[in-house]
A and B are shown apart, each in its own frame.
Chain A
Amino acid sequence: MLGNLGRIGPARLFVHFAVLLIVIIWLIPTLGIFVTALRDKDQIVVSGWWTSFSGSSRTIAVRLAGSDKATQDGANYIIKGNVFDGSNNNGSGRVRSFGLRVQEPAAYQAGSQADLGDGESLTINSDGTYLLQRNGAFAADERARRVYLTVATPPEFTRDNYRTVLTGEGIGQSFINSLTVAIPATIIPILIAAFAAYALAWMDFRGRALLIALVVGLIVVPLQMSLIPLLRIYNDIGQVFGVPSKTYPGIWMAHTAFGLPLAIYLLRNYIAGLPKEIIESARVDGASDFDIFVKIILPLSFPALASFAIFQFLWVWNDLLIAMVFLGTDKDHLVLTAALNALLGSRGGNWEILTASAFVTILIPLLVFFGLQRYLVRGLLAGSVKGG
């Protein structure tokens, strides 16, 4: 249908172009951190990540070895060395050109001999080795020479950043913490919501309509309402029983409760739409509601359960607020989002740490997303445009 629309206008090419542009704009931010996380940390700060594919070229200032390193070679005195050595540790690469004045940093090609006057000459090769020679002695107090280099660095990628964040920055530990929070906080609400949804869809009891309206209303209640009253309850319980108030069961319950209204609503709509005949004939055969639920409803509701599971998992995995309030910010319990937030504060300029950590946090959601996109979209549509 809409394909026909494409054929009628002269706008077809424009549409392709516009969508391509939008796709690129949408992709570039994420691409930026993917690429940066794989770059050498010294390179990240001197050149934009978009230059890393082509290799980068930069101008650096280097001081050659001083007169104490000079040796006599026949009538000449020479100083040998490598511009990338020792105190000049500016990384590595290949020298493209060099110069003696900051205004002309690329006056000589690498490998050529620069005449410095007074019988002095300098050669810097592309691998960084240099030879400074003079047909006279270097004075002992003579300052070491400063030269300017244009250094080309080839595209260079590394896994070091990931190694650093997974072991050194506690991201590995937080990854496990996040899984510990997210898996039960996905399964438990599904179980509870499915039973409730079945009751609301197929069992007859007083107050059912009111309960459904209540569930729908609670979908939009802002989380902010719950934080302080709940934290008070948690603290009271912790004090009465002498247990910590911030625990995994505590956060599982919080995530379960906050996910429940939407879960019950979505699952009820789905379960209410299942064919009446199946359920009634099972009842006639003497199956109890519990049997019907476990043996008929659960298998038939798989698509709806899967969509909600994906939502709940993504929501729990990506949550920061609930984790900060109900699990706390001590190192042993830090979830990935909270760890990343802490890094943003403490390692704000260390982009190699931040980008690699960010990639670790979004890895699982992206896998879930691309693996189960079909269910995700189905769930979205069931929830938002039912009958629309």
Chain B
Amino acid sequence: MISQILTAVGAMIFGVAVCAAYFLFSNKLLEIIFPAKEGGDVHRVAVNLRRRGIIRPWLFLGPAVSLLAIYLMYPVVATLILSFYGPDGNQFVGGANYVWAVNDNEFRRSIFNNILWLAVVPAACTFFGLVIAVMTDRIWWGNIAKAVIFMPMAISFVGASVIWKFIYEYRGGTDAQIGLLNAIVQLFGGTPQVWITIPFWNNFFLMIMLIWIQTGFAMVILSAALRGIPEETIEAAVIDGANGWQIFWKIMVPQVWGTIATVWTTITILVLKVFDIVLTMTNGQWDTMVLANLMFNWAFRGFDSGRSAVIALVIMIAVTPIMIWNIRRANAETKGH
């Protein structure tokens, strides 16, 4: 145990030191190669300073740009190419992988489930987040309530899976139900169920987990946006005799519409990549397969890089509109600066 800890600490120091050393020494090196000491040839100093100015941004950006290129940009191209090749990535098979995908039942099931997730989770998180934000802003212990609802954000999906598997736990025969959901169902005279094996509906039992985790995120951001609403607009509505419901829908919601869209898209991206929950809860059994898990299965269990590449590309295509929208918005923002 002790040696393990020492190795770990050593590895950490080494890793961080290498990185820090790069920035330190590359800059020192730059200054040595292009010296700019007072008293030297004035023209030379000016030239060297200009050269430093050209090179230095790239020293600063170097590690970041190379990592982005290797880990995020090259793989997009590589995946596209792999999608036209066979299982081991060596034999060109044309569009065979795409034909397979269209005809594969599990692939179609995954698309269907992904659409189900996309339809339910972002909407539910945003709606609950908004409602809870409005309500917690109105009470004195709202910050405590917010902390509790925000807390699942800190919990890993695997941890959440243990938590919720325990809630959905089913015990057969006459054994006492130790899963909360079945205990409640039994209390009201219902029959206990093996919840995560009920086709179609089990998708919703998995979605509840993500909603539980992500609502806090939506709440925090929407709460900040709500606080930015000018007081006068609400006061004017109050004077005009609007009730709480009308104020919520006709005054508050329209004014935070931009934020709602941001929250919605952020959760949409997350949903498209949802993997851990399905892996740990059902591993795609009982009709709960989603694209990310299907891709993983083909890559690391079926060892077919071509088919998994096709599935990865489908996820990529699904996020592309959001990507373009993000870039446009960021460009507009940067120009505004």
Q: Which of B138, B145, B280 contacts A5 (CB 8 A)?
A: B138
A150 contacts partner chain B, Cβ-Cβ < 8 Å = no
- Which residues on the B side are within 8 Å of A386 (C-beta)? 333
Q: Which of A198, A225, A318 has the most CB of B within 10 A?
A: A225
B96 contacts partner chain A, Cβ-Cβ < 8 Å = no
- Which residues on the A side are within 8 Å of B272 (C-beta)? 222
A27 contacts partner chain B, Cβ-Cβ < 8 Å = yes
Binds A, one of B105-113, B199-207, B220-228: B220-228
A369 to B336, CA, bound (A): 34
Closest Cβ of chain B to A364, distance in Å, is 9
- By the criterion CB–CB under 8 Å, are B327 and A366 in contact? no
Q: Which of A2, A30, A177, A218 contacts B68 (CB 8 A)?
A: A218
B123 contacts partner chain A, Cβ-Cβ < 8 Å = no
Q: Which of B56, B177, B227, B258 contacts A48 (CB 8 A)?
A: B177
B247 contacts partner chain A, Cβ-Cβ < 8 Å = yes
A94 to B11, CA, bound (A): 54
Across the A-B interface, how many residue pairs have beta carbons closer than 8 Å? Answer: 361
Interface of A is mostly: helix
- By the criterion CB–CB under 8 Å, are A289 and B212 in contact? no
- By the criterion CB–CB under 8 Å, are B316 and A225 in contact? yes
**Known contacts A1-B234, A224-B315, A226-B75; is-contact A30 B163 (Cβ 8 Å):** yes
Closest Cβ of chain A to B167, distance in Å, is 6
- Considering only residues 85-135 of chain A, those with a C-beta below 8 Å from chain B are none
Q: Which of A3, A176, A196, A230 has the most CB of B within 10 A?
A: A196
A198 to B315, CA, bound (A): 32
What per-residue 1/0 map shows which CB atoms of A303-336 lie under 8 Å from chain B? 0000000000010011111001100000000001
- By the criterion CB–CB under 8 Å, are A180 and B136 in contact? no
Closest Cβ of chain A to B21, distance in Å, is 11
A336 to B157, CA, bound (A): 12
What per-residue 1/0 map shows which CB atoms of B290-323 lie under 8 Å from chain A? 0110011001100001001101110110010011
Closest Cβ of chain A to B333, distance in Å, is 7
Closest Cβ of chain A to B113, distance in Å, is 16
B262 contacts partner chain A, Cβ-Cβ < 8 Å = yes
- By the criterion CB–CB under 8 Å, are A388 and B225 in contact? yes
- By the criterion CB–CB under 8 Å, are A384 and B147 in contact? no
- By the criterion CB–CB under 8 Å, are A228 and B56 in contact? no
- By the criterion CB–CB under 8 Å, are A314 and B154 in contact? yes
Closest Cβ of chain A to B15, distance in Å, is 4
- Which residues on the A side are within 8 Å of B299 (C-beta)? 227-228
B23 contacts partner chain A, Cβ-Cβ < 8 Å = yes
A299 contacts partner chain B, Cβ-Cβ < 8 Å = no
- By the criterion CB–CB under 8 Å, are B139 and A230 in contact? no
Interface of B is mostly: helix
A315 to B183, CA, bound (A): 34
Q: Which of A191, A230, A321 contacts B23 (CB 8 A)?
A: A191
- By the criterion CB–CB under 8 Å, are B224 and A320 in contact? no
**Which residue of B is nearest A293, CB measured?**
B60
- By the criterion CB–CB under 8 Å, are B224 and A381 in contact? yes
Interface size bracket, A side: 35 or more
A36 contacts partner chain B, Cβ-Cβ < 8 Å = yes
- By the criterion CB–CB under 8 Å, are B148 and A361 in contact? no
- Which residues on the A side are within 8 Å of B224 (C-beta)? 381, 385
What per-residue 1/0 map shows which CB atoms of A241-267 lie under 8 Å from chain B? 000000011001110111011001100
Binds B, one of A62-70, A137-145, A153-161, A209-217: A209-217
Q: Which of B61, B67, B151, B159 contacts A256 (CB 8 A)?
A: B67
- Considering only residues 125-162 of chain B, those with a C-beta below 8 Å from chain A are 132, 134-139, 142, 145, 147-159, 161-162
- Which residues on the A side are within 8 Å of B79 (C-beta)? 225, 228-229
Q: Which of B8, B148, B228, B315 contacts A26 (CB 8 A)?
A: B148
A215 to B64, CA, bound (A): 10
B73 contacts partner chain A, Cβ-Cβ < 8 Å = yes
- Which residues on the A side are within 8 Å of B225 (C-beta)? 385, 388
What per-residue 1/0 map shows which CB atoms of B261-299 lie under 8 Å from chain A? 011001001001101100110000000000110011001
What per-residue 1/0 map shows which CB atoms of B166-184 lie under 8 Å from chain A? 1101000001111110010
**Known contacts A44-B178, A341-B279, A369-B153; is-contact A222 B68 (Cβ 8 Å):** no
**Known contacts A50-B180, A225-B75; is-contact A19 B15 (Cβ 8 Å):** no
- Which residues on the A side are within 8 Å of B156 (C-beta)? 317-320, 336-337, 340, 361-362, 365
A61 contacts partner chain B, Cβ-Cβ < 8 Å = no
**Known contacts A252-B15, A386-B333; is-contact A224 B276 (Cβ 8 Å):** no
- Which residues on the B side are within 8 Å of A265 (C-beta)? 330
B99 contacts partner chain A, Cβ-Cβ < 8 Å = no
- By the criterion CB–CB under 8 Å, are A321 and B183 in contact? no
What per-residue 1/0 map shows which CB atoms of B69-92 lie under 8 Å from chain A? 011111110110010000001000
- By the criterion CB–CB under 8 Å, are B138 and A3 in contact? yes
A184 to B16, CA, bound (A): 6
Q: Told that A220-B326, A321-B275 touch, could you supply 12 new A-B pairs with CB distance under 8 A?
A: A9-B243, A23-B148, A29-B166, A33-B163, A177-B8, A193-B64, A224-B296, A225-B72, A230-B75, A257-B72, A320-B280, A365-B156
Q: List 21 A-B residue pairs with CB atoms under 8 Å apart, sorted by A's residue number.
A: A6-B138, A9-B243, A15-B139, A26-B151, A32-B166, A33-B163, A203-B60, A209-B334, A221-B76, A221-B319, A222-B319, A225-B315, A229-B78, A257-B68, A257-B72, A288-B52, A318-B156, A320-B158, A337-B157, A344-B162, A385-B221
